Amino acid sequence: MDKVKYVNIDGRDIPVEGEKNLLEVIRKAGIEIPTFCYVSELSTYGACRMCMVEVEGRGLQTSCSTLPEAGLKVKTNTAAVRQIRRVALELILANHERDCTSCVKSTKCKLQDLSRKLGVEQVRFRAVQKPRVVDEANPALVRNPNKCILCGDCVRMCGEVQGVGAIDFAYRGHEVVVQPAFGKNLYQVQCVYCGQCARVCPTGALTPKSETAAVWRALQDPARTVVVQIAPAVRVALGEAFGYQPGEVTTGKIVTALRMMGFSKVFDTCFAADLTVMEEGNEFIRRFKENRALPLFTSCCPAWVKYVEQFCPEMIGNLSTCKSPQQMFGAVAKGLFSREMGIRKEDMVVVSIMPCTAKKFEARRPEFRIDGAAEVDHVITTQELAQMINEHGIQFRDLQPGSLDLPLGFKTGAGVIFGASGGVMEAALRYVYEKVEGRTLESADIREVRGEAGIREAEIILGGQTFRFAVVHSLANARQVIAGIKSGERQYHFVEFMACPAGCINGAGQPVSLDQDYARSRTSGLYGADQMLQLRKVQDNPYLKELYAERLGEVGGERAHHLLHTGYTARRRMKGKSMVIVDGQAAGKLEIRVCVGTSCYLKGSQDILHHLAQYVLVKGLSDQVQVKATFCFEKCDKGPTIKVGDKVIGHCDVNKALAAVEQAVANGAGVTGRP
């Protein structure tokens, strides 16, 4: 048995029990060390210097990057430590846009909190940075570089956990800034709008884009009937904004608050989640029988869908054609339920309350429009709902619970657990089991797909056949699984993907929690709500049965497919102009474009680009030929792709590219007066 190690913290011996750094040991001792750049789920960065402590024999050390060795003697509050923290904080504040009273992060800003705790009342240093343009071009996030403190949390989250790399550090010295590639905005690059960068941002540099003003306008328009849907994960997190513990279900109070605000009907996205399971479960069974387009990928997460469109478009055919629950709800509410309410669908406004920032982007996709009008008009996050409740002056804790409206407010437990990683898969399996086995599933709990690991696998025997499933959360894990599927190392029939770590309960629109186990508590809250419901399988939902019988017809049939299904196409990762590789005027030249988007890049386009540039230089063709790197021909499944003049060449390699250029030059392309 290993001997317990101790570290002496301010005169007390504290045992080391698996902590990965000195910072965690100190916090276990009940001492809160300030940090900006330390997030336990990310790599250690050690840039902000706020966590400095004095270690006997070593002097000042960053506690986040110091191993907890036995026998260390640490002081956390010496004069030198306090001084360096205050100076570091003042230097950060000097270049920070300090409009705290109007900042969306006010009262929840870590910079504001530490300034108060450390007693920083004035800033002695002058700013050296000029104000930068605020990026509001996309529908999901606002990026304000003037509030960035360069902690790097967003960069590491986007690169390490999500594997996207949409933002990074640029420039040097006092000019350094965090921004998307080539100085573009988030709308122009490969951002999938998951918002996890905003979740870990300690200031107001990255925040969800608010739609509360638009929702207030709709509510106050007498010509509009405004209905609202509440996503599963919202009910176990909103209460945190009003002093409840993570995981406490506050659905009833939410309903009452929404009615007080003026919403005509308060519905539940869980009803649409039940509907999604019916359609997606049926789609899976059909694909399995036909042995085509497997494994089936879930399509409920819009950040994941955009990731597939950009990074692995050759697998778009594996995506379920089912719309997400949010969009299914909008389609049913406007396409069918508006008639029952006796109003024109043009006069109905559908508002979604979501834990997710990518849902804002999803609602604006052209695929999700009915006769030119959006299925979902506005998406507000859990944070925005809390803001609206406070704006209205509603005393949330004093509210009596209300009931959701029927029929779109009725749900089963299967719809409720959609908000947790593994919930979509479990809900689908509760349906698939009875369809394949032809008998009742006695226990609705399918624990094989539950857990916290980023990649979980399960095998279940149904109808005498072995089905292989996987549950994946965070996009870096998704990249790993996709690579395994392509290589044949991983073989599944059905895979659930969610972009956010732990699923929707940890979406970027949820309240920021300081509780170490908040994600686990929220997940537990959803499964607890599922256990409390009498009906836990979608096929038992009476209002769903009625919807199919009276409006949709057969599950997966023509009417249902028209209203509830969609399709996706390859999407460019980068918008804007191409990069010129060989200088010179383009007029009269043969133009060669090489796609360097991720899909083509991984297949060797960079090598092609290099050889073409060298070929032009060596052959002395700079006056006739111009080589450019471009970002997408939207033919990612045929990559690497190049364009020589007007001719697009897919599945290209160096030899094909050089041959095409030689042929074009031989035919006179690029020579003045010749095509």
pLDDT at 375 over 60: yes
Q: Judge if 431 and 476 occupy the same domain.
A: yes
CATH number at residue 26: 3.10.20.740
CA–CA dist 462, 525 (Å, integer): 30
Q: Judge if 489 and 552 occupy the same domain.
A: yes
Q: Residues 247-285: pLDDT tens digits?
A: 999 999 999 999 999 999 999 999 999 999 999 999 999
Q: Is 386 a domain residue?
A: yes
CATH number at residue 509: 3.40.50.1780
Per-residue pLDDT, 675: 38
Q: Judge if 542 and 661 occupy the same domain.
A: no
For residue 660 the two structure tokens come to: 């095409």
Per-residue pLDDT, 356: 96
Residue 359 is among the residues annotated as catalytic for this protein: yes
Q: Judge if 160 and 242 occupy the same domain.
A: no
Q: Judge if 220 and 299 occupy the same domain.
A: yes
Q: Judge if 277 and 146 occupy the same domain.
A: no
Q: Judge if 130 and 239 occupy the same domain.
A: no
Which of 564, 590, 621 is the endpoint of a domain? 564
Higher pLDDT, 488 or 598: 488
Marked catalytic residue, from 17, 56, 367, 459: 367
Q: How confident is the model at residue 577 (pLDDT cuts 50, 70, 90)?
A: low
Marked catalytic residue, from 279, 280, 309, 384: 280
DSSP 434-499: HHHH-S--S----GGG-SS-SEEEEEEEETTEEEEEEEEESHHHHHHHHHHHHHTSS--SEEEEES
Residue 600 is among the residues annotated as catalytic for this protein: no
Q: How confident is the model at residue 674 (pLDDT cuts 50, 70, 90)?
A: very low
Q: How large a percentage of the chain has pLDDT more than 90?
A: 69
Per-residue pLDDT, 582: 46
Q: Judge if 397 and 439 occupy the same domain.
A: yes
Marked catalytic residue, from 148, 191, 194, 504: 504
Q: Judge if 120 and 184 occupy the same domain.
A: yes
Residue 62 is given by DSSP the state E
pLDDT at 670 over 60: no
CATH number at residue 600: 3.40.30.10
CA–CA dist 366, 142 (Å, integer): 22
DSSP 483-517: HHHHHTSS--SEEEEESSTTSGGG-TTSPP---TT
Residue 300 is among the residues annotated as catalytic for this protein: yes
Which of 77, 100, 124 is the endpoint of a domain? 77
CATH number at residue 178: 3.30.70.20
Q: Mean pLDDT across the stretch 205-217?
A: 96
For residue 349 the two structure tokens come to: 């406004």
Q: Is 584 a domain residue?
A: yes
Q: Judge if 432 and 559 occupy the same domain.
A: yes
Q: Is 673 a domain residue?
A: no
Marked catalytic residue, from 240, 283, 309, 426: 283
Q: What are the DSSP E strand ranges found in 305-359?
A: 348-354
Q: Residues 463-483: pLDDT tens digits?
A: 899 999 999 999 999 999 999
Marked catalytic residue, from 300, 322, 595, 600: 300
Q: Is 671 a domain residue?
A: no
Residue 384 is among the residues annotated as catalytic for this protein: no
Q: Is 152 a domain residue?
A: yes
Which of 183, 208, 233 is the endpoint of a domain? 208
Q: Residues 534-575: pLDDT tens digits?
A: 999 999 999 999 999 999 999 999 999 999 999 998 887 777
Q: Is 84 a domain residue?
A: no
Residue 160 is given by DSSP the state I
Q: Is 520 a domain residue?
A: yes
Per-residue pLDDT, 607: 82
The candidate with the shortest Cα–Cα distance to 498, out of 187, 271, 162, is 162
Residue 312 is among the residues annotated as catalytic for this protein: no
Q: Judge if 124 and 227 occupy the same domain.
A: no
Number of domains comprising the chain: 4
pLDDT at 601 over 80: no
Cβ atoms within 10 A of the Cβ of 130, count?
7
Q: Is 609 a domain residue?
A: yes
CA–CA dist 105, 383 (Å, integer): 11
Marked catalytic residue, from 299, 320, 338, 521: 320
Marked catalytic residue, from 362, 375, 384, 426: 362
Q: Which residue range is the domain that position 652 belongs to?
A: 579-666
CA–CA dist 478, 480 (Å, integer): 5
Marked catalytic residue, from 110, 209, 345, 359: 359
For residue 579 the two structure tokens come to: 């990069």
Q: Residues 150-203: pLDDT tens digits?
A: 999 999 999 999 999 999 999 988 888 999 988 899 999 999 999 999 999 999
Q: Judge if 313 and 390 occupy the same domain.
A: yes
